[in-house]
């Protein structure tokens, strides 16, 4: 218990020594010993008592802890030091593990107070950041698969606008933000424009799928907890479509007993283009002490345009308005049972089209894009003594309308309506036992309806996928505790029905696609902060319907297309390593892999307006990734992420620009992202911050159907700011400082390709209360 005493900075009292539990009594390395933590957000004093009880460590604390900021909670099997650091983050308190096994908690040195609450050694954070890539909380460095996790603080410091930009900073992954609320994602050479999502995309517990076209909605980065990018097939735990990998966007949960708010305002101007502005706000509202809280987020952004209409002379026509709202509530009916409910809405209006233009940043035709998506989900979690039971229900609805010119002189008006409903029940171990396991059942209903009018040709199509899956994942510690074996298996079954109609031409599908998707891995931890692993995993994606419009046009052109497209599958072998070196100042991560992708669907041009779909023989993919983070000083971090991907089709596809050895659609062979971040004190309550980032990728060579390669892309961004302990901050932002105007992806036959926004400068002001 806490005893309050008068006098100086000791008046807050002394935390009486708590008796250690029998487990973990050995005091050789108490900081690195692992414990099972289930600490909910609470006052610092209550959180430290729970930490002592669950870790078995004795604590002695000095200071008025009642005035400290509430903690965010900690869960999972974690090293004691990692859990304690998370509890004390931004509290103004520091810790020391004494030689006698006692941990002392005391206020940080007054002289260093301003920087101590903000600046931490980056490599320790990177080694200790929690991820849930295997459906349980673990240190990122301990997970035996290639996973990159960017937490909310990192994302804020990077100053990125959306998840597409965050993906670009991950080795082996890249994206193409085409504007109008649509993003294409490539992970380890897996990239296509056909079928359900080839790479998984999750908003919290909600898996997005385009059903017949890979669809990754534009997701803004404000007030997120973290973004995880899992590379390699993830079919055992994250669905049938995660062939190249999975992107997980995790929102911040409400803090139960903390009132907090934040307001962020910004303005920007693009070189040779228009201006923009943004307004973003967050409020964390505790409603019932220790039981119920709500977090509300709203954003409104006007994004600058820069593309001109060469026919009408209209300038900056591709400006875009993006508005989002998010509500998340957390309710604890009991100490073991947690309910999380959330709703998320997104609205995008791009009346002048997306980011495609010719080399002069002009277009002679375009069509508007209005995109809307809404998500709702409920997660019920019950924490038992040795296991956790989780039920999730989720729904997502995405609608997009496109209207304007499909080609010069050819009018277009089309709509897309996608609905996804999922349920999942998972049962997972939570104790520190030699065998860790996750078992589950999954159900997904997805449907898509399309209507379009291109010139005088009208068409309509629908497809419905009713799927279920049974899955399990086991991790077994071998007799030598440094070695562990991981094995997973998912049985997936998908009933696909649909029809497509154009005039008198109709195509239909009524098929069942089934697959067993295994994963096997072996990992070795030669020391506490190192992991070496090898794995083999399979990914699978269902087949789909051939559009009737394609069949009609192909028949007129004398071409033969199949009525349906077969499923595709991938098998990936990987060897990787993660290593924290130089006394925690250097973090190394690397992997090499090989994938054999069978029956990859590709597009076949029919004429200037239409294309069809068929299966190719597939692709071979070889790749290597390397990430290095170096922190020579506590306030300085240098980071380099690189990847090389040799992804090529195995055979010629008649009637296309695809031949044996042609690079896979939209995949750059080499990419690099480098950054440096530095913080320095300006006064006792203020600090300066600076971050410089540079990203590069080689040309993407294959267009959607026919065209010429894109360009190598080199862009840089800079962020300078002042942050104050009172909760306000001011930043100067420079984006695309190289003024890169090359073709991000391959050009069409008319020379159009996605372009980056020209050099853009902006100001951002942020003020918060907590």
Residue 95 sits in a domain whose CATH number is: 3.55.50.30
How far apart CA 755 and CA 361 sit, in angstroms, is: 8
Which pLDDT value is given to residue 261?
A: 96
- Closest to 143 (Cα-Cα) out of 155, 157, 133, 154: 133
Give 8's pLDDT tier (boundaries 50, 70, 90): very low
Give 111's pLDDT tier (boundaries 50, 70, 90): very low
CA 248, 601, 242 angle in degrees (round to 5)? 20
How far apart CA 130 and CA 148 sit, in angstroms, is: 11
Q: Are 505 and 485 in contact (CB under 8 A)?
A: no
Q: Over range 250-279, report the average pLDDT.
A: 94
b/e string for 388-403 if b means 16 or more Cβ within 10 A?
bebbbbbbbebebbbb
Whether the pLDDT of residue 427 is over 90: the answer is yes
Q: Is the domain of 178 the same as that of 326?
A: no
Q: Are 487 and 534 in contact (CB under 8 A)?
A: no
Which pLDDT value is given to residue 673?
A: 96
Q: Are 538 and 517 in contact (CB under 8 A)?
A: yes
Q: Is the domain of 351 the same as that of 308?
A: yes
Q: Which helix (H) or strand (E) holds 539?
A: strand 530-541
Give domain status of residue 16, yes or no: yes
Residue 167 to residues 14, 218, 448: CA-CA distances in angstroms?
A: 46, 12, 27
Give 76's pLDDT tier (boundaries 50, 70, 90): low
How many residues would you count in the chain?
Answer: 770
Q: Which residues contact 14 (CB under 8 A, 6 or more apart)?
A: 2, 3, 5, 60, 61, 62
Query: Which residue shows structure tokens 């229900």?
Result: 393
Q: Are 710 and 745 in contact (CB under 8 A)?
A: yes
How far apart CA 219 and CA 691 sit, in angstroms, is: 23
Whether the pLDDT of residue 15 is over 70: the answer is no
Chain Cα centroid distance, residue 744: 21
What would the two tokens of residue 55 be?
């870790």
- Ranges of H-type helices in 235-359: 235-238
Give domain status of residue 124, yes or no: no
Q: Is the domain of 82 the same as that of 147?
A: no
Give domain status of residue 119, yes or no: no
How far apart CA 53 and CA 45 sit, in angstroms, is: 13
How far apart CA 302 and CA 514 sit, in angstroms, is: 45
Instruction: Decide: helix, strand or coil at residue 575.
Output: strand
Q: Are 75 and 83 in contact (CB under 8 A)?
A: no
How far apart CA 65 and CA 58 sit, in angstroms, is: 17
Give 26's pLDDT tier (boundaries 50, 70, 90): very low
Give domain status of residue 115, yes or no: no
Give 54's pLDDT tier (boundaries 50, 70, 90): confident
Beta-bridge partner residues of 367: 404
Radius of gyration of the chain, Cα coordinates, nearest whole angstrom: 26
Give 280's pLDDT tier (boundaries 50, 70, 90): very high
Number of neighbours of residue 489 by Cβ within 10 angstroms: 17
Give 240's pLDDT tier (boundaries 50, 70, 90): low
Q: Which helix (H) or strand (E) holds 536?
A: strand 530-541
Q: Over range 209-238, report the average pLDDT.
A: 87
Q: Is 451 exposed, middle or buried (0-12, 13-18, 19+ CB in 10 A)?
A: middle
Q: Is the domain of 492 the same as that of 605?
A: yes
Whether the pLDDT of residue 7 is over 60: the answer is no
Instruction: Decide: helix, strand or coil at residue 166.
Output: helix
What CATH number is given to the structural domain containing 242?
A: 2.170.130.10
Q: Is the domain of 734 the same as that of 693?
A: yes
Which pLDDT value is given to residue 82?
A: 80
Give 77's pLDDT tier (boundaries 50, 70, 90): low
Give domain status of residue 114, yes or no: no
Q: Is the domain of 539 the same as that of 571?
A: yes
Domain tally for the chain? 3
DSSP state of 304: P
pLDDT in tens, 301-343: 999 999 999 999 999 999 999 999 999 999 999 989 999 999 9
Which segments of 110-244 are extended strands (E)?
Answer: 130-131, 138-139, 147-151, 173-179, 182-187, 200-203, 206-207, 216-217, 224-231
Rounded percentage of the chain residues whose pLDDT exceeds 90: 57
Q: Which of 39, 74, 108 is the endpoint of a domain?
A: 108
Q: Is the domain of 207 the same as that of 260?
A: no
Q: Which of 202, 224, 248 is the endpoint of a domain?
A: 248
Which pLDDT value is given to residue 129?
A: 63
Give domain status of residue 118, yes or no: no
Whether the pLDDT of residue 459 is over 80: the answer is yes
Q: Are 253 and 456 in contact (CB under 8 A)?
A: no
Range of 673's domain? 249-769
Give 284's pLDDT tier (boundaries 50, 70, 90): very high
CA 420, 665, 304 angle in degrees (round to 5)? 70
- Closest to 401 (Cα-Cα) out of 413, 393, 389: 413
Which pLDDT value is given to residue 53?
A: 76
Q: Are 712 and 742 in contact (CB under 8 A)?
A: yes
- Closest to 58 (Cα-Cα) out of 102, 105, 28, 23: 102
Q: Is the domain of 234 the same as that of 275?
A: no
Most confident of 34-48, 137-151, 239-253, 356-370: 356-370
pLDDT in tens, 119-136: 333 334 445 566 777 776
Q: Is the domain of 238 the same as that of 278?
A: no
Q: Is the domain of 677 the same as that of 702?
A: yes
Residue 689 to residues 45, 158, 160, 686, 759: CA-CA distances in angstroms?
A: 32, 11, 16, 10, 21
How far apart CA 480 and CA 478 sit, in angstroms, is: 5
What would the two tokens of residue 465 be?
């996928």
Q: Which helix (H) or strand (E) holds 435?
A: strand 435-454
What CATH number is given to the structural domain containing 582?
A: 2.40.170.20
Most confident of 156-165, 176-185, 330-339: 330-339
Q: Are strands 245-251 and 200-203 parallel, antiparallel or unpaired?
A: parallel
Which pLDDT value is given to residue 127?
A: 55
How far apart CA 470 and CA 425 sit, in angstroms, is: 10
Q: Are 526 and 574 in contact (CB under 8 A)?
A: no
What would the two tokens of residue 40 be?
């909910």
Give domain status of residue 120, yes or no: no
Which pLDDT value is given to residue 379?
A: 95
Q: Which of 108, 140, 165 is the endpoint of a domain?
A: 108
Q: Is the domain of 623 the same as that of 740?
A: yes
Which pLDDT value is given to residue 29?
A: 66
How far apart CA 321 and CA 330 sit, in angstroms, is: 31
Q: Are 561 and 614 in contact (CB under 8 A)?
A: yes
Which pLDDT value is given to residue 461?
A: 93
Whether the pLDDT of residue 272 is over 70: the answer is yes
pLDDT in tens, 654-706: 888 899 999 999 999 999 999 999 999 998 889 999 999 999 999 999 888 88
Q: Is 558 exposed, middle or buried (0-12, 13-18, 19+ CB in 10 A)?
A: exposed
b/e string for 136-167 if b means 16 or more Cβ within 10 A?
bbbbbbbbbbbbbbbbbebbbbbbbbbbbbbb
Whether the pLDDT of residue 19 is over 50: the answer is no
pLDDT in tens, 372-413: 999 999 999 999 988 999 999 999 999 999 999 988 888 999
Report DSSP letters for 9-67, one per residue.
GGTT-EEPPPPPPSTT---SSTTT-EEEEEE-S--HHHHHHHHHHHH---EEEES-GGG
Q: Is the domain of 496 the same as that of 580?
A: yes
- Closest to 474 (Cα-Cα) out of 425, 514, 440, 524: 440
Residue 128 to residues 81, 254, 491, 634: CA-CA distances in angstroms?
A: 9, 22, 33, 16
Instruction: Decide: helix, strand or coil at residue 158.
Output: helix
What would the two tokens of residue 225 be?
């907890």
Beta-bridge partner residues of 708: 747
pLDDT in tens, 624-665: 999 999 988 888 999 999 999 999 999 999 888 899 999 999
Give domain status of residue 54, yes or no: yes
- Closest to 440 (Cα-Cα) out of 235, 253, 243: 235
Beta-bridge partner residues of 77: 36
Beta-bridge partner residues of 624: 592, 644
């Amino acid at each position: 218990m806490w005893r309050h005493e008068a006098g100086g900075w000791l008046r807050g009292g002394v935390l009486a020594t708590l008796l250690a539990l029998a487990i973990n009594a050995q005091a050789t390395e108490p900081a690195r010993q692992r414990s099972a933590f289930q600490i909910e957000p609470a006052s610092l004093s209550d959180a430290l008592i729970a930490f002592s009880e669950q870790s078995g460590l004795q604590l002695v604390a000095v200071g008025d802890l009642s005035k400290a900021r509430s903690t965010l909670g900690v869960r999972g099997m974690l090293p004691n030091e990692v859990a304690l650091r998370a509890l004390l983050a931004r509290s103004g308190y520091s810790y020391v593990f004494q030689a006698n096994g006692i941990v002392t908690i005391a206020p940080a040195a007054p002289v260093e107070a301003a920087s101590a609450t903000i600046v931490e050694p980056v490599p320790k954070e990177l080694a200790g950041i929690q991820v849930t890539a295997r459906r349980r909380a673990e240190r990122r460095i301990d997970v035996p698969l290639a996973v990159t996790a960017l937490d909310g603080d990192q994302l804020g410091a990077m100053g990125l606008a959306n998840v597409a930009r965050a993906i670009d900073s991950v080795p082996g992954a890249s994206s193409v933000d085409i504007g109008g609320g649509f993003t294409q994602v490539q992970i380890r050479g897996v990239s296509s424009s056909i079928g359900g999502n080839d790479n998984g995309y999750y908003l919290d517990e909600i898996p997005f799928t385009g059903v017949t076209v890979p669809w990754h909605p534009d997701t803004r980065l404000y007030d997120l907890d973290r973004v995880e990018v899992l590379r390699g097939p993830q079919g055992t735990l994250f669905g049938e479509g995660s062939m190249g990998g999975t992107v997980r966007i995790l929102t911040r949960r409400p803090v139960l007993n903390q009132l907090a708010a934040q307001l962020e305002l910004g303005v920007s101007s693009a070189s040779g283009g228009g201006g923009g502005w943004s307004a973003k706000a967050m409020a964390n509202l505790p409603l019932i002490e220790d039981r119920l809280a709500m977090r509300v987020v709203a954003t409104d952004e006007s994004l600058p345009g820069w593309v001109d209409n060469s026919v009408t002379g209209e300038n900056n026509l591709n400006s875009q308005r993006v508005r989002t709202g998010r509500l998340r509530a957390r309710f604890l009916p009991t100490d073991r049972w947690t309910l999380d409910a959330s709703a998320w809405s997104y609205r995008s209006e791009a009346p002048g089209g997306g980011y495609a233009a010719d080399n002069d940043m002009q277009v002679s035709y375009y069509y508007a894009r209005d995109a809307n998506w809404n998500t709702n989900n409920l997660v019920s979690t019950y924490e038992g003594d040795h296991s956790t039971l989780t039920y999730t229900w989720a729904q997502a609805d995405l609608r997009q309308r496109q209207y304007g010119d499909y080609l010069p002189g050819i009018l277009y008006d089309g709509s897309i309506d996608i609905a996804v409903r999922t349920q999942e029940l998972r049962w997972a171990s939570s104790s520190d036992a030699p065998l860790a396991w996750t078992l589950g059942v999954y159900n997904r209903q997805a449907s898509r309806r399309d209507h379009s009018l291109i010139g005088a040709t009208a068409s309509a199509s629908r497809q419905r996928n009713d799927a279920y899956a049974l899955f399990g994942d086991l991790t077994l510690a071998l007799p030598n505790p440094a070695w562990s074996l991981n094995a997973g298996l998912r049985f997936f079954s998908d009933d696909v029905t649909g029809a497509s109609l154009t005039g008198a031409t109709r195509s239909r599908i009524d098929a069942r696609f089934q697959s067993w998707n295994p994963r096997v891995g072996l990992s070795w931890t030669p020391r506490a902060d190192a992991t070496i692993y090898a794995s083999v995993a399979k990914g699978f994606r269902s087949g789909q319907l051939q559009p009737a419009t394609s069949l009609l046009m192909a028949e007129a052109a004398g071409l033969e297309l199949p009525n349906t497209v077969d499923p595709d599958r991938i098998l990936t072998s990987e060897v990787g390593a993660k290593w924290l070196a130089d006394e925690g100042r250097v973090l190394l991560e690397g992997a090499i892999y090989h994938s054999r992708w069978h029956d990859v669907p590709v597009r076949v041009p029919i004429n200037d307006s239409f294309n069809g779909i068929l299966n190719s023989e597939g692709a071979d993919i070889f790749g290597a990734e390397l990430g290095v983070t170096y922190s020579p000083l506590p306030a300085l971090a240098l980071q380099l992420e690189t990847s090389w991907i040799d992804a090529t089709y195995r055979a010629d596809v008649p009637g296309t620009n695809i031949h044996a050895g042609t690079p896979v659609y939209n995949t750059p062979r080499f990419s690099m992202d480098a950054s440096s971040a530095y913080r320095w004190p300006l006064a006792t309550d203020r600090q300066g911050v600076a971050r410089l980032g540079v990203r590069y990728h080689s040309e993407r060579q294959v267009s959607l159907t026919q065209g010429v390669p894109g360009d190598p892309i080199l862009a840089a961004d800079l962020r300078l700011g002042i942050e104050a302990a009172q909760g306000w901050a001011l930043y100067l932002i420079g984006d695309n400082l190289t003024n890169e105007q090359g073709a991000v992806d391959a050009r069409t036959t008319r020379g159009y390709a996605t372009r980056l926004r020209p050099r853009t400068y902006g100001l951002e002001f942020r003020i918060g209360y907590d």
